Amino acid sequence: MRSIEDTLKIIQDIIKAFPIDIEIALIGGYAAVLHGVERTTLDIDFCIYSSIIRSSHDSSDLYNLLLKCLPKRFEAKMIKGGTIHDDPFKHDVIFIEDTIGEFLRIDFLIAKYKWELDAIHSAVKIEGIPVPIITKPYLAAMKLRSTGYKDASDIVNLISLMTEDEKEKTIEIMILVRELIITPTILPLNDMNDASIRN
């Protein structure tokens, strides 16, 4: 199995080959590891967004462009949000697999809400990592929407590593996320008047 660093290099190459700008941040288990949580992971997750989604209101256009940028040894499939049972936010997700089996699976969660876009924009750079990493408060909030034991454990561990300011920000974001789970259809559109990105 190739290293996570090798997988990140593949991601960097895909982003460079992309014909349009793509906004991306590392999320999930490996982001938790980089923030100091001790755990393992079998895939590497990213939150992404692009102007092509803003203009077409359909992530399929992004997916089709991505297919053209993938090295030949990789295959991708997209699952539309309405078919993913354990995602209360109904995200579209692109899964990228190495047909030879040497690289970790790569998951692209396509940002759907303004707070997720804020998470991408506030992501931080860590030396040696070619992709920005979502901050601890946003990562904890993203894990709140997940249902697994590892995700619950990650939230506890992330909070134990946070400053007081980060804890306050986490509570603020988690309240917003909780509201989205309870009443996802009555939210106002964000200030970009973009129907595909909600608060």
In-domain check, residue 185: no
Confidence of residue 91 (pLDDT cuts 50, 70, 90): confident
DSSP characters over 76-119: EEEE-GGG-TT-TT---EEEEEETTS-SPEEEEEEP-BHHHHHH
Q: How many domains, the chain?
A: 1
pLDDT tens column, 20-65? 999 999 999 999 999 999 999 889 999 999 989 888 888 999 999 9
Residues 56-90 have pLDDT tens digits of 888 999 999 999 999 999 999 999 986 655 666 67
Both tokens assigned to 173: 């974001």
User: Residue 144 — very low, low, confident or very high, per pLDDT cuts 50/70/90?
Assistant: confident
CA distance 146 to 14: 27
Average pLDDT over residues 122-132: 95
Residue 11: pLDDT above 80? Answer: yes
Does residue 141 sit within a domain?
no
Residue 154 lies in a domain: no
Q: Which among 148, 144, 77 is positioned nearest to 113, based on CA atoms?
A: 144
> How many angstroms separate the CA atoms of 63 and 76, rounded?
9
Nearest to 188 by CA among 115, 139, 120: 115
Identify whether 190 is part of a domain: no
pLDDT at 88: 61
Give domain status of residue 26, yes or no: yes
Q: Do the domain assignments include residue 120?
A: yes
- Please check whether residue 168 lies inside any domain of the structure: no
15 is in which domain, residue-wise?
Answer: 4-134
| CATH assignment at residue 114 | 3.30.460
